[in-house]
């Protein structure tokens, strides 16, 4: 059963008292993309560097989603992935139609142990807002 298919009654049958108790232990699958999906469907909004981490991080916007934009933050080395590799964005930001933002921090990634993913979400949103005005941003 996927975590999105869980009902409160199902949780009580399984012995969980509260929905939050279940989600603490639920295994949420990581969001991944092929390098071709990133190249074809995600436009570069900007890039930034983190002191002490080699390389740049790219903020990309899914160009197939107009009503509910989706942003990802990936390390620039995604371009070296083979066609069979799966690229794991560090952060995924989804905008809902009502304006709410859903930030998914993929803490299982190797880089997530040494960086603040909340800062990555904030930067992604800033790049998105900056690019609404037709700019490409690069921050160091």
**11-61 per-position pLDDT tens digit:** 444 454 544 444 444 445 688 999 999 999 999 999 998 888 888 999 999
First to last CA, the chain: 43
Domains of the chain, by residue range, sit at 1-29, 35-139
**Which residue did the predictor score with more confidence, 102 or 5?**
102
Whole-prediction pTM = 0.70
Residue range 84-110, pLDDT digits in tens:
899 999 999 998 888 888 888 887 677
Residue 114: pLDDT over 60: yes
**Which residue did the predictor score with more confidence, 134 or 122?**
122
Enumerate residues 6+ apart whose C-beta is below 8 A from 83. Answer: 34, 35, 36
Residue range 69-78, pLDDT digits in tens:
899 999 999 9
Inter-residue contact 107 to 115 (CB < 8 Å) = no
């Amino acid at each position: 059963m996927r975590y999105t298919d869980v009902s409160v009654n199902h949780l009580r049958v399984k012995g969980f008292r509260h929905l939050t108790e279940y989600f603490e232990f639920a295994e949420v699958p990581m969001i991944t993309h092929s390098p071709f999906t990133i190249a074809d469907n995600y436009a570069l909004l900007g890039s930034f560097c983190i002191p002490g981490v080699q390389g740049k991080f790219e903020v990309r916007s899914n160009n197939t989603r107009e009503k509910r934009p989706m942003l990802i933050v990936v390390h620039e080395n995604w371009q070296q992935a083979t066609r069979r590799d799966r690229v794991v964005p560090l952060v995924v930001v989804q905008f809902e139609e009502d304006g709410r933002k859903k930030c998914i921090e993929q803490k299982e990634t190797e880089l997530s142990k040494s960086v603040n993913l909340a800062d990555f979400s904030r930067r992604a949103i800033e790049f998105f807002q900056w690019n609404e005005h037709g700019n490409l941003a690069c921050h160091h």
